[in-house]
Amino acid sequence: MALAKGLHLVALVSLLAYSSNAQLFPNFYGARCPNLQSIVRSVMSQTVAQDPSMGASILRLFFHDCFVNGCDASVLLDDTATFQGEKNAGPNANSLRGFQVIDAIKSRVEAACGGVVSCADILALAARDGVNLLGGPSWTVLLGRRDSRTASFSAANSNLPSPSSSFSTLVSVFASKGLGIRDLTALSGAHTVGQARCTNFRTHIYNDPNVNPSFSGARRNMCPQSGGDGNLAPLDFQSPNRFDNGYFQNIMNRAGLLHSDQELFNNTPADAFVRVYSRNSAIFAPDFVTAILKMGNISPLTGTNGEIRVNCRKTN
C-alpha cells in the first residue's frame, strides 16, 4: 500500500511540473465549458460499449498525434489543396481509426460551448476515458492545448516508430520526445489492448528467432506468408479488450505480436521494467499514467498559437 501511495505521489508531482512548464491546467476550461468531461465520457462510454476495440484506437490516435510535431490534433486533419495530411502516411494509412468518434464528441461539445474547446484536448480526454473504460487507470488530464493549422505527411512518416523497430531505434525515437526507457516500456503497455494487421507482424512470426513456437504457429494460421495483409490479430491474446498487465506477461513468454514488442524483453535495459510490470499491475498503472502525462506535454500549442477548430477535420 505504501509503495502504491508513493507511486501515485510521484505521478502527482509530475502532473504539477508538466502543468507549470507547458501552461496546461486541469481546470483550464472552468466555467467556460463545465460539462466538457461529462460529454466526452458519455460518448466514449457508448462507443466502447458498442465496440471495445475503439478504446485502443482512440489511444493510438493520441499517440500518433503527439509524436508528430506535438499534441496539436494535426492527425485529425484531412488533406487539402495546400498540404498533405497525416492520415495517409505509412504508419497511419488503413490502420488509424476513430475519427468519427472524435467528430461526435466535438459536435456535442460545440453545441454546449462553441468555439471554446480544442480538438487536441478532446483527443487527450477521449484517450484517457478509453483506457479507463477498458479497466485501466484514470488520470487528471492537463488542458489548454490549441489546434494546429497544418499537418505533416513527412513528419508522420519519419517520427513514428514502426512495428519492426529495434530496441535502439525505439529508445532513440522516444528520447527525441523527452521520454526515457521506463516511459517507453510503460507506454508500450498500451498494447495490452487493440489489434495489429498481418502485414505488420508477418516477418516477426515467420523469421525472428525469439518467438514462442506455439504462439507463432497460432498466429500463422490467420497470417499466411503471402496475402491476408489486413487480417487482424489481438496485440494481447490473453485479454485483448482489457487494459491490464497481460502484455508484459506475453512478451516474457516470447509471445509479443510485433517485433518491436518483443524487443522490450530481449536482453535490453527494458527487461527489468517488463519483469516488474508483468508481476505487479499496481506498479505498471501509475508508471503508465506518468508516461502518458509526459507524452501529452510534447510541444503543445498554447496561448495565442494555433486555433480552436470548429471542425476537427479542417482548419477554420
Query: Annotated binding site, which residues?
Result: 65, 68, 70, 72, 74, 86, 161, 191-192, 236, 244
Residues 6+ apart with CB under 8 A from 235: 56, 191, 192, 193, 194, 195, 196, 247, 257, 258, 261
Structure-block grid coordinates of residue 315: 482548419
Set 8, 64, 204, 259: catalytic member: 64
What is the number of alpha carbons within 13 Å of residue 118 lying toward its C-beta? 26
Structure-block grid coordinates of residue 25: 491546467
Check residue 141 and report its DSSP letter: P
Check residue 136 and report its DSSP letter: -
Structure-block grid coordinates of residue 201: 507482424
Which residue carries 492527425 as its cell?
A: 75
Residues of the binding site for substrate: 161
Determine whether 64 is an active site residue: yes
For residue 4, the SS3 value is helix
Q: Where are the beta strands (DSSP E) in 97-228?
A: 195-197
Choose among 93, 95, 105, 128: nearest CA to 232.
Answer: 95
Structure-block grid coordinates of residue 153: 505527411
- In angstroms, rounded to a whole number, what is the distance separating the alpha carbons of residues 154 and 297? 22
Q: Give the CA dihedral 186, 188, 191, 193, nearest 10 degrees.
A: 40
Q: Give the CA dihedral 231, 232, 237, 243, nearest 10 degrees.
A: 180
Structure-block grid coordinates of residue 32: 467556460
Other CB atoms within 10 Å distance of the CB of residue 15: 20
List alpha helices for the chain, DSSP H: 2-22, 36-50, 53-66, 99-112, 119-133, 153-159, 167-175, 181-188, 198-207, 213-220, 246-252, 259-262, 271-279, 281-295
Angle at 37 between CA 91 and CA 239, to 5 degrees: 50
Active site residues: 64
